[in-house]
Amino acid sequence: MIDALISGLLLVFAWPSIGYLLLGALLGIWIGAIPGLGGIIGLVMLLPFTFGMEPVPAMALLLGLWTVTTTSDTIASVMLGIPGTAASQATILDGYPLAQQGHAGRAFGAAFTVSAFGGVFGAAILAVSLPIIAPLILSFRSPELFMLGMLGLTMVGTLSGASVLKGLLAAMLGLMLGFIGMAETIAEPRYHFGTVYLLDELPLIPVVLGLFALPELLDLAVRNVSISRVPKEQVKGGGIFHGVRDAFKYWWLAIRCSVIGTYIGMLPGLGASIVDWVAYGHAVQSTKDNPRFGKGDIRGVIAPEAANNAIKGGALVPTVAFGIPGSLGTAILLGALVVQGVRPGPDMLTDNLHITFSLVWMIVVANIVVAIALIFLANQVAKIAFVPGHLIVPGVVTFVFMGSWLGGASMGDWITCLSMGIVGYVMKRGGWPRPPLILALILGNILENSFQISMRVGQGWGWLSRPIVLIILVLIVVTLVVAISGIARNRQLRARQTEPKEGSSEGEGNERNPLISLPFSLLLATMFIWAAIEAQPWHEEVKQFPVAIAYPGALLALLAVYFDVRAVVARRQLSEGWTQLFKQAVDQAMLRPSVIFFLYLIVMLLATYVIGQKLSLALFTAIYLWRWGNYSPGISILYALGAWAFIVGFYDRIMNLLFHPSWLQSWLYPLLPEWLPSYLI
C-alpha cells in the first residue's frame, strides 16, 4: 500500500502530468467562475484532447479541471448570488449577504481555505476507504436514496427562509416542474403544453440562471447601487485573512462537514445535489451562540464549501472501485478511464492501485494549488463588490443568456431563462425561498424512480422498515421540528426589536410583502389543482408521483393563501386605505422599474430573431448603459464592442456554439465579401 501511495505521487509530479494538472486547474478556475459553465461542460470540452494521451497525464488534465470548479464557483455565489454549480446553492444564503455588507473578501478567504481542506480530506478518505467501503455503498439502495433525497429537500425547504410552509411549497413547485417532459418509466408526455421543446424536460441551467441571476441584476439596476450596500470607506474588517482566521476558528465544523461531504458523495446519483444543504442544515442545527444564518453568518459559507469540495474524493470511490459513476462528472471520468484502457473495478485496488493513488494525489495537489492562488486573487475579485452596479449588469446579462444557451442551443432556453427570472423576482419580493425549487427540480426524476423501484421491490410500503430508512426518517422529523422552533424564536426576537440592526440583510426568503405573495400563492394553488386534474387520464405509474405532490401541494397553497390574506388585512388596518396599501406594496417591490427592466430583456430577446444573438446582446449593452446607466455614448459603445468580441471569441470561436439563425443572417450573409468572416454577426 505504501509503495503504491508513493508511486502514485511520483506519477503525478512526473512531467508532463504535473503540467497538465496545473493547466486543468487553471481552466477549472475560469470555467467554474463563469455562470452557466461548470465542471461538466469543462470535462466535455477537454475530453477529446485526451485521446491518444497516456492515462496519468490525461486524468491529470480532467481531474485538475473537475476538482477545482467547486472552489471557483464560490465567486459567482458570493458576488452575484448565483449558484455557480448545483453544489454551491447553500453558499449564496450567507455568502451573498456578506458581499452586500462589503465582506466579500472574508467570505472568499473562509471559502477557499475550507475548500482546500475539504478537497484534501475527501481525497484522504478516498485513499483510506477504498478497500473497506463496499458494504456502505451497497447498503444504499433505492429506498435509502429516496429518503436521503427527501432529507435534502426538507433541509433546503426549512432552512432557506422565514416560512417552512413557503419553503416546502417551493420544493413542491420544483418537483412539479421536474415532471415536465417524457416520463421515464413509460414513454408518456407530461405537462408539455403541446410543445416539442418541453418533451425533453425543463433544462436546469436556464432555470437556475433566470431564477437567481436576473432578480439580483434587477436589484443592482433599479436601486443604482453596487453589490456592496456599504461604501468601501465605511467597511470595517472583512478581509481575506479575516476569512482565513474564521476557517481555523471553526475547524471542527469544517471537519464534520467534510466527513458529510465525503460519505454522501459516495452515494451514486444524489451526492452533489444535496450535500451542501445537509452540511448547511448541520451547521444551523448544531449552532447555539447567536447565529445569523441567512443574513451573513460566516459558518453558512464554511459548512457547504467544506462539504462540496470533499464530495469529489467521495464521488470517485464508486467510480474507481465498482465502475459505478456517482454523478454526470464521474460518468465522464469513467468514460475517460475506459478510453485510456484502464478498467474500473477490483483491479484498481490491486494491480492498478498506483494509478488509483495518483488520482488521489491529483485531487490533493489541485485543491491546494488553486486555493492558494484564489486567496491571493480574492482581494482583486472582492473589489468588484464596490464597482457601480450599472457596469456589472450588462456584462453579467451576457454571461447569463449565453450560459443558458449552452445546454440545448434553443431559443426556448432564453425564453425559459427570462420566464424564470420573472418568477424569481416575484418569489424574492414575496418572501418565497428559491433554493428549494432548484434542488427539487434536480431531484424530481431521481426521487420518482427511486420511489417506484422501492414500491415494486418492496411489494408495497415494507421498505419503510429498513434500518437506514428509519434513521433518515427520524432526521427529517428532527429537521422539521428544529426549523419550526427556530423560525418561531426568530420571530419573537424580531418582535422585540424596535429597529433593525445596522448593516443587517434580510436574506433569502425573508422579505415580507403579502400583496406580492398573495397572487403567487393563488397561482400555485391553481397550478397544483390543474396538475392533479391533468394527470388523471395518464397511466398509473406515470401519474402516481405527480398526483402525490399535486394534492397536498394544493392544500398547502390554499393555506398559504389564507395566511397571505390575513397579512394583507393586518396591513390594511395599519394604512390609511387600499390605495395607500397598494402604493406601499408597489414601491417596496420596485414594481414599475422592474417591469421596465424586464421589458428591456424582452425586446432584446425579440431582437435576436431579427439581428441575431451576438448583435442583440451588444445592442442591449449599449442601450442599457446609455439610457439606464446614463453613461456617455462612447463608453456605452466601447463596452458593447467588448461584449460582442467576447461572444465571438469565446462562445463562437473557442466553444464552437451554434447560434440561432436570424433574419439579418438570411439576407446579409450572401452579400458579404468572401474575406469577411460570417461568424462576426
Q: Which residues fall within 8 angstroms of residue 96, CB to CB, at 6 or more apart?
A: 77, 78, 79, 80, 81, 216
Residues 202-225: what's their mean pLDDT? 89
609 pLDDT higher than 90: yes
Q: Percent of the chain beyond pLDDT 70?
A: 89
In degrees, rounded to 5, the angle at the alpha carbon of residue 660 between the alpha carbons of residues 184 and 205 is 45
418 pLDDT higher than 60: yes
Residue whose cell numbers read 461548470: 38
Residues 321-344: what's their mean pLDDT? 74
- Relative to beta strand 181-182, strand 189-190 is antiparallel
pLDDT band (50, 70, 90) for residue 5: confident
Q: Which of 269-278, 495-504, 532-541, 552-561 has the lowest mean pLDDT?
A: 495-504
pLDDT at 270: 62
**Which of 63-72, 141-150, 563-572 is modeled with the greatest confidence?**
563-572
pLDDT at 628: 94
Q: What is the pLDDT of residues 112-132, one digit of tens each?
A: 999 888 888 877 776 676 666
92 pLDDT higher than 50: yes
- DSSP labels, 99-166: HHTT-HHHHHHHHHHHHHHHHHHHHHHHHHHTTT-HHHHHH--HHHHHHHHHHHHHHHHHHSSS-HHH
Residues 392-417: what's their mean pLDDT? 90
635 pLDDT higher than 90: yes
pLDDT band (50, 70, 90) for residue 611: very high
pLDDT at 504: 39
- DSSP labels, 532-564: HHHTTTS-HHHHHHHHHHHHHHHHHHHHHHHHH
500 pLDDT higher than 60: no
Residues 317-329: what's their mean pLDDT? 70
Q: Which of 219-233, 540-554, 632-646 has the lowest mean pLDDT?
A: 219-233
Q: How far apart are CA 350 and CA 501, in angstroms?
A: 60
Alpha carbon 513 to its chain centroid, in Å, reads: 26
349 pLDDT higher than 70: no
- DSSP labels, 460-512: TGGGGGSHHHHHHHHHHHHHHHHHHHHHHHHHHHHHH-SSPPTT----TT---
Q: How far apart are CA 482 and CA 282, in angstroms?
A: 11
Burial of 572 (0-12, 13-18, 19+ CB in 10 A): middle
pLDDT at 269: 60
- For the chain, state the CA radius of gyration: 25
576 pLDDT higher than 50: yes
289 vs 595 pLDDT, higher one: 595
87 pLDDT higher than 70: no
Nearest 5°: phi and psi at 647?
Answer: -60, -45
Nearest to 14 by CA among 62, 56, 63: 56
Mean pLDDT for all residues in the chain: 84
Domain layout of the chain by residue ranges? 2-387+434-498
Q: Which of 121-125, 144-148, 178-182, 414-418 has the lowest mean pLDDT?
A: 121-125
Residues 314-334: what's their mean pLDDT? 72
pLDDT at 502: 37
Residues 31-39: what's their mean pLDDT? 76
The three three-digit cell numbers of residue 202, written as one number: 425543463
The three three-digit cell numbers of residue 160, written as one number: 432557506
534 pLDDT higher than 90: yes
Residue whose cell numbers read 449599449: 622
pLDDT band (50, 70, 90) for residue 498: very low
212 vs 457 pLDDT, higher one: 212
Q: How far apart are CA 396 and CA 26, in angstroms?
A: 21
561 pLDDT higher than 90: yes
| Cα separation of the two ends of the chain | 58
306 vs 286 pLDDT, higher one: 306
265 pLDDT higher than 90: no
Residues 61-77: what's their mean pLDDT? 86
pLDDT at 556: 95
Residues 323-337: what's their mean pLDDT? 74
Q: Which of 67-76, 319-328, 380-389 has the lowest mean pLDDT?
A: 319-328
* Structural contact between residues 262 and 314, judged by C-beta atoms closer than 8 angstroms: yes
Q: What region, left, alpha or beta, does residue 460 occupy, with left being phi > 0 and alpha being psi -120 to 50 degrees?
A: left
pLDDT at 489: 64
pLDDT at 248: 93
Instruction: Report the run of H or E that residue 348 belongs to, with start and end.
Output: none
553 pLDDT higher than 90: yes
The three three-digit cell numbers of residue 259, written as one number: 466527513
3-state secondary structure 229-267: CCCHHHCCCCCHHHHHHHHHHCHHHHHHHHHHHHHHHCC
pLDDT band (50, 70, 90) for residue 617: very high
**Which alpha helices (H) appear in 196-237, and where do they start and end?**
204-208, 214-223
Residue whose cell numbers read 393555506: 559
